[in-house]
Structure 1
Amino acid sequence: MTTTKKSDKKIDLRNFKYYFNRELSWLEFNRRVLAEATDHRTPLLERLKFMSIVSSNLDEFFMVRVAGLKQQVEAGVTKLSADGRSAEEQLQAIAELLRPMIEEQHQHFEKVLKKELTKYGINLIDYVDLNQEQKAYLNSFFEEHIFPVLTPLAVDLSHPFPYISNLSLNLAIVLKDPSTDRELFARLKVPKSLPRFVALPKELRQRYRGKVGVWSGVPLEQIITHNLKYLFPGMNILESSVFRVTRNTDLALEEDEADDLLLAIEQELQKRRIGGSSVRLEIQAFIPENIRATIMRELILQEDDVYDIDGLIGLGDLMSFMSLPLPELKDKPWSSALPPRINWLEDENASLFDLIRKQDLLVHHPYHSFSGTVLRFITQAAQDPDVLAIKMTLYRTSGDSPIIKALISAAENGKQVVALVELKARFDEENNIIWARKLENSGVHVVYGLPGLKTHTKITLVVRQEEDKINRYMHIGTGNYNPKTAKIYTDLGLLTCDRDLGADLTDLFNFLTGYSQQKSYRKLLVAPVSLRDRMIDMIRREIEHCHNGKSGRIVAKMNALVDTQIIETLYEASQAGVKIDLIVRGICCLRPQLKGISDNINVVSVIGRFLEHSRIYYFQNDGSEEMYIGSADWMTRNLSRRVEAVTPIESLEIFKDLQEILGIMLSDNRQAWELRSDGTYIQRKPADGEEAHSTHELLMEMAAQLAELD
């Protein structure tokens, strides 16, 4: 589509040069996470945590995104990305961008973080640096605890190259038979059933400031490497190298042909445990060339798929160090507060329904307690004799979810309970299957969503008999009903009994569970029905205000901005003079600050202690301001291939609260990164004499102060 400037020169706003590549933008997000791991202002163990997150993020990136691009290449797909790259070109660009990033990550861990850890009595020791007493202990530990678990696999004419399971750590071993002088090859899997880092007993720990250190230990694979003689008696061990394979693990499911979706996904999960085609090989940098070539050939990988690692492979396992009892090396503990209005309730068992009936309530996790708000709402509904029905969507929830227990309790109490469980929630499919079966067995009506659409919306509807009428209470949120992630993800939720929203949620659940073809809603914006069109209409409305000599203003916060139709409309808005601030945590395909295209668009990303997950959309509308929150990002998948719900905010008090949140994030000079027109991000820093303003720190302080005031 084209737009016209004052000069009447037409600009093709879908030109490749106006878009960033989605995959490369995601890698830039991971670079910002890595920056937290290398920032001296981040507490030391939290830096290890971020190191772990970087690696875990990359594992998923390869298992899904890189795997998808490889499949496109194999299938001969010729469609180009928004920035004009073929799948093959994207794979090449990923490798070029990623190699120096991975080198930086590992170099920082090996040369900086490990040394920093020793200053606090934490010693991750290389086996070769152990003293004789420590080696003796670990040799004994190997014989008793490790050796019985190991299974070496020979590779020769009668023993084909073994299947290497996804993300497993392995040893490639070269041996020589002294009786024949023949070289042999074997593969040994490092067992996941044992801890990755084996701790030494207290009496053998390294000393720390004249006393016993907090923790000393050795990587499991190094202990195995130095005890290979027990596995291959009579053989000479010539070489041993560690390697790790990442495989395609995305579900390949033809829903229309799956009579039983639950069974079909269970079968696909069995395949995933093993993994599909290999997409990445991580290998120690010093591995002999012939062994490297053998592994690559057997895994059908090219040189671009191989990442040489100087140091530990699989830094995701560093997360285990967060369990060390060293609070001074972690973020200060945070205990979520109750929102002021709920805090007013003197009795913790007082009915939330009475409060919600008087006014809408906003909850903001993890600043506000999930258990004291959302879980309390659902639990009270399950126990309340006046509640007739509970309906909710479950995209991701924890393994020991109190939400599930509450729904089961509600069904046992004779209430009509409907749970829409999204079986296709990536990497949570198995967990969701387990709870779906448990819910069904307890009498809950379990629905698995719509063919071709993921149900991503976060909604709960409670139907309650009150005197001579029925009232509907609801929670419409931006995040999953998961008490665990609610402590580390920032999310918003609206608790309301608005009549129109109640009618809309009833219609939406009928659409999800029955044959309803609902095409319009009173207030709710629903994908894939109306959300995209309404968002574009509201952007165009700001354009019209500017064309009429008034001002236009948009502030939008989301996880990712990818959809080209939305981006094109934002470009048109910028050209019309609309001032646009975007707070985009991760992927952003829009190029800000391009002269004549996006001069009026600023993009920031906030990375820190909590994972920014809430979605907020603000439109100035010539003074008749509108604000929305909900489950959808401005991504094509959210707008076209998922069921999403976004609700307007009509309470003036809540509206102001959300404006304050957006204002805090836009003025952040500690956690905020500004996106430049060339795709790079620059972290904001306080000016000389200026205080640091951290979004997460400030919102925690505000929540604590309001709780004290009440």
Structure 2
Amino acid sequence: MESDSPLGDATIAADLLDDDEAEPVLVDDGTLPHDRFLDRELSWLSFNQRVLELAEDDHLPLLERANFLAIFASNLDEFFMVRVAGLKRRIATGLAVPTNVGRAPLDVLADISAKAHELQDRHARAFRDRVKPALDEAGIHIESWSDLDEKDRQRSDEIFSAQIFPVLMPLAVDPAHPFPYISGLSLNLSIRVRNPKTGKEEFARLKVPQNLPRFVQLPDDARGLLRYIPLEDLIANHLGELFPGMEIVAHHEFRVTRNEDVEVEEDETENLIQALEKELLRRRFGPPIRLEISDDMDDVTLGLLMSELQITEQEVYRLPSPLDLGGLFEITKLDRPSLKYPRNVPTTSVNLLPVEPTERPDIFASIDRGDILLHHPYESFATSVQAFLEQAAADPNVLAIKQTLYRTSGDSPIVEALIDAAEAGKAVLALVEIKARFDEQANIGWARKLEKAGVHVVYGLVGLKTHSKLALVVRQDKNGTLKHYSHIGTGNYNPKTSRIYEDLGLLTADDVVGKDLTRLFNELSGYAIEKKFKRLLVAPLHLRKGLLKRIEVETENALAGKPSGVRIKVNSMVDEAIIDALYRASKAGVHVDIVVRGICSLRPGVEDLSDNIRVRSILGRYLEHSRIFWFANDGDPQVYIGSADMMHRNLDRRVEALVRIVRPEHLDELKGLLDEAMSEQTSSWWLGEDGVWVRHDRDADGAPLPDMQTEVMRRIASRRRGALR
């Protein structure tokens, strides 16, 4: 049984890491202090520290803690591959390095390195001193070679000879064999051997196979324990078989992280797919930016690696074995329900259930009865969004389907539904974003499969990523009238991540939304110029302006003594213009609440600047991914949900869409979610003016505070037919 934790064998940080290289958009009138922003890179590391704190929490289920250790490792890998790589590339090439904190890029890089070293050391200690001993107590032993008795070693010899030895490829380094290419994120053994006849020492590198289990299960020893040994440890203790006749002088683990940022100059190519595929090939050979080594590595070996890889001392991370704790994802897949979060089965939205229990579900009939607000993963993606598109593909009255695809899964029923619709003769448009970071190759494959099925595939606008989550179905009713059925969401059309990402979505037959989406899709597939929309805010031309206008209204209302307030839930809060507008609102007396999962450059609680701003963070079982924008508007709340974070890339270099929520019961539901996230009785992290996040998970008596995700899960599971219609 797979874990319900975020995100199994994937990262929870991909949507925080795209390179954001635009210059700060400032509208400063000179009244705001120059040190009003927190550094975004250090803020990201603080986010990953919060992930690590979950791994350190003894109150969480054990395998979930191991999962958070693996997530931390995977997150940090991507941080180096994208953000640190981007900083170093711009420094090396002499490009300007935008920074909203007014500090020299090399100083920022030094601070990043210091914090990353501190966190990686803490991460290693959390495994060694807390999680590993707890695993031992639970009967899950990760052994080292020195722990094995003679009988175990004999069995391990058999495993090595039969299953591992045949796929190993030791590479010598000498005048006839140049230093080999070390692939990014691969785990390696550095080996020094001596010829007993000549006394000459040689160096060799051995790559630990990535297609074998990272933790090799040892045979049952009649105690009923699950016992594993790291693959690299098993290999290291059989090096004599790889170098017969030679003396093994020393061996050590090491791992290289490379620059895997992708750059495509779209205006210099006529074929975006071909350009991207070439860049993906170059990604494999990016320059090294981090060298992780086992803490017992000698200076001779380290000196050779640093020289050959052109790595500086600052880029070397000495850690206790085992390196790459992302391998713990394998352990977390064990079928031990008692060591995991209680299994949660998403419910079908009560508003998608038929009026009569004996009737078959009809998505279109349900939407005709009124807007439906979906909340995943508490409410099922499969019986809502997926069913919506599958029914559209099969319905003979549906004439056209238009959809954006940003990140898809390997077995996507959404893509299959689009293919079925095209093969049934419907007009189908799929806007596939092939530049979605680390999903580029998969999306290229889907795009080609869709094209072969007759789907009209487009790749969006030059210079922009299409990040909005939109689906539009055009259907003819019994009177021959064409109706628009729309879905606008905060998360990807990905059934796999929908089970572990917290997201919102709106299903609506509102004609205003349908016409807005029709125009937007025409812009994305044709040559139309973006205009203003009626119920949408769309980036890059109008979203920031629209939000700034709403914040300004709240500021004016506060100054006039009218009810005011701003509440925002996002993954990242970085955009300087938005932050400065919130500072001015705070100075005017507007109460501002921010719920942010990841990066936050806003500095709350500063006297005469942000006294009225509070910032909270919720991390846990599910990945908080929804975006909500709530404005009091003098008693007539203006509320939006959508795909955009408050970052340069989202507001300036992406097609993003927010939709206004209008039904009173939906407004109440979103207000309740924000109330709960900001409550002092909810377990969360609080951001201080110094940039330090402090966890608040106990009340004054030391009792644990309620977990918001668990409470939402219980509340939605208890709903009955007709609720929140």
Give TM class, smaller chain: over 0.9
**Equivalent residue in structure 2 for 1:462, among 473, 484, 487:** 473
Q: How much does 1:709 deviate?
A: 9.4
Q: 2:321 aligns with which of 311, 332, 339?
A: 311
Is the Cα–Cα contact under 8 Å of residues 512 and 534 in structure 2 kept in the other structure?
yes
The AA in structure 1 aligned to 2:444 is I
2:339 pairs, out of 321, 329, 334, with 329
2:382 partner SS = coil
Aligned-pair CA distance for 1:551: 3.3
Corresponding residue number in structure 1 for 2:11: none
In the alignment, which residue of structure 1 is the partner of 2:536?
A: 524
Within a 5 Å distance, the mapping from 1:15-164 to structure 2 comes to: 15=34, 17-164=35-182
Displacement of 1:670 in angstroms is 5.1
In the alignment, the residues of structure 2 paired with residue 523 and residue 709 of structure 1 have an alpha-carbon distance, to the nearest angstrom, of: 25
CA distance in 1, matches of 2:700, 2:252: 50
Alignment match of 2:511 (pick from 490, 495, 499): 499
Work out which of the residue numbers 218, 241, 244 in structure 2 matches 1:233: 244
- CA drift of 1:707 comes to 4.7
Q: Is the 8 A contact 1:608 1:671 kept in 2?
A: no
Correspondence for 2:445: 434
AA at the equivalent of 2:641: I
1:165-220 deviation line (CA, Å, top 9, x unaligned):
01000000011111111111011111101110000122x36x3xxxx11x101000
Counterpart amino acid of residue 95 in structure 1: S
Partners of 1:86 and 1:541 lie apart in 2 by: 36
1:361 aligns with 2:387: no
The CA deviation at 1:691 is 6.3
1:513 aligns with 2:513: no
Does structure 1 retain, via aligned residues, the 8 Å contact 2:184–2:257? yes
1:688 equivalent in alignment to 2:705:
no
Q: 2:712 aligns with which of 686, 699, 703?
A: 699
Return closer, same or farther for 1:3/1:439 CA change in 2, 3 Å cut-off: closer
- Determine which of 172, 175, 178 is the counterpart of 2:190: 172
Q: Which amino acid is 2:715 matched to?
A: M
**Cα distance per residue 1:606-653 (max 9 Å; x no partner):** 011111000000000111111100000111110000000000001111
Note if 1:284 corresponds to 2:297. Answer: no
Q: Is the 8 A contact 1:546 1:576 kept in 2?
A: yes
Measure, in 1, the Cα distance between the counterparts of 2:87 and 2:28.
Answer: 32
Please give the alpha-carbon distance, in whole angstroms, between the structure 2 residues aligned to 1:645 and 1:3.
27
1:73–1:79 distance in 2 versus 1, CA, 3 Å: closer
User: Matches of 2:95 and 2:281 in 1, distance apart?
Assistant: 28
Q: CA deviation at 1:547?
A: 1.6
**Deviation digits for residues 527-551 of structure 1 (CA, Å, limit 9, x no counterpart):** 0021010000000000111121223
- Aligned partners of 1:116 and 1:669: how far apart in 2? 29
Q: Is the 8 A contact 2:432 2:447 kept in 1?
A: yes
- Change beyond 3 A, Cα 1:271–1:78: closer
**C-alpha offsets along residues 328-376 of structure 1, whole Å, 9 cap, x if unaligned?**
0000000001122123443574321112112000000001000011001
In structure 2, C-alpha distance between the alignment counterparts of 1:640 and 1:411, rounded to whole Å:
33
Distance 2:671 2:86 in 1: 39
Q: Secondary structure at the match of 2:172?
A: strand
Cα-Cα RMSD: 1.5
User: Is residue 577 of structure 1 aligned with residue 589 of structure 2?
Assistant: yes
User: In 2, are the aligned partners of 1:343 and 1:707 still within 8 Å (CA)?
Assistant: no
Query: Taking structure 1 as reference, are residues 590 and 402 closer, same or farther at Cα in structure 2, changes over 3 Å only?
Result: same
2:635 equivalent to 1:615: no
Amino acid at match of 2:266: E
User: In 2, are the aligned partners of 1:336 and 1:368 still within 8 Å (CA)?
Assistant: yes
- The 8 Å contact of residues 177 and 235 in structure 1, kept in 2 or not, is answered as yes
Tell me the amino acid that sits aligned with residue 349 of structure 2.
P
Is the 8 Å Cα contact of residues 504 and 626 (structure 2) preserved in structure 1?
A: yes
The equivalent residue for 1:11 is: 31
Measure, in 2, the Cα distance between the counterparts of 1:348 and 1:454.
42
State how far apart, in whole Å, the 2-side matches of 1:708 and 1:114 are: 46
SS in 2 for 1:276: coil
| Aligned residue number for residue 638 of structure 1 | 650
Question: Which residue identity is paired with 1:182?
Answer: K
**What is residue 222 of structure 1 aligned with on the other side?**
233
2: CA distance between counterparts of 1:477 and 1:707? 23
- Which of 407, 413, 427 is equivalent to 1:402? 413
The aligned amino acid for 1:150 is: L
Q: How far, CA to CA, are the matches of 1:476 and 1:12 in structure 2?
A: 37
d(CA) in 2 for partners of 1:295 and 1:264? 33
Q: 1:283-338, CA deviations, whole angstroms, 9 ceiling, x for partnerless residues?
A: 01110101101101111110111100112100011011122121000000000011
Report if the CA contact (8 A) 1:585-1:607 is conserved. yes
Does the aligned pair in 2 maintain the 1:669–1:694 contact within 8 Å? no
CA positional deviation for 1:147 = 1.0
Q: Which residue of 2 aligns with 1:294?
A: 304
Give the structure-2-normalised TM-score. 0.94
> Could you say what secondary structure the match of 2:158 adopts?
helix
Residues 196-275 of structure 1 correspond to what in structure 2 (within 5 A)?
196-202=214-220, 204=221, 207=223, 212-213=224-225, 215-272=226-283, 274-275=284-285
**What secondary structure does 1:104 align onto?**
helix
CA contact (8 A) 2:52 2:68 kept: yes
Secondary structure class of the residue paired with 1:11: coil
Kindly state the Cα deviation for residue 449 of structure 1 after the two structures are TM-superposed. 1.3
Per-residue deviation, residues 438-476 of structure 1 (Å, max 9, x unmatched): 111111111111111000000000000111311000000
Deviates more, 1:131-140 or 1:84-93: 84-93
CA deviations on 1:531-585 (whole Å, 9 max, x unpaired) are 0100000000001111212232011000000000111111110101100000011
The equivalent residue for 1:7 is none
Judging changes above 3 Å, is the alpha-carbon distance between structure 1 residues 80 and 401 closer, same or farther for their aligned structure 2 residues?
closer
2:461 counterpart of 1:450: yes
Closer/same/farther in 2, CA of residues 196 and 127 from structure 1, 3 Å limit: same
Amino acid in the other structure paired with 1:108: A
Equivalent position of 1:561 in the other structure: 573
2: distance between equivalents of 1:506 and 1:79?
39
**Post-superposition shift, 1:2?**
7.5
Partner Cα separation in structure 2 for residue 287 and residue 542 of structure 1: 59
Distance 1:525 1:289 in 2: 58
Contact kept in structure 2, 1:80 and 1:86, CA below 8 Å: no
CA distance in 1, matches of 2:343, 2:586: 42
Give the distance between the partners of 1:639 and 1:94, measured in 2 at CA: 26
Cα distance in 2 for partners of 1:430, 1:593 equals 44
Preserved contact between residue 580 and residue 601 of structure 1 (Cα < 8 Å): yes
On the 8 A contact 1:37/1:48 being kept in 2, the answer is yes
Match of 2:562 in 1: 550
Residue 7 of structure 2: aligned partner: none
Three-state SS of the structure 2 residue aligned to 1:399 is coil
Q: Please, what TM-score do these two structures have when normalized by structure 1?
A: 0.96
Q: What amino acid maps onto 1:72 in structure 2?
A: R
Q: Distance in 2 between matches of 1:47 and 1:640?
A: 37
CA contact (8 A) 1:149 1:191 kept: yes
For the residues of structure 2 that align with 1:135 and 1:582, how far apart are their CA atoms?
56
CA distance in 2, matches of 1:2, 1:282: 42
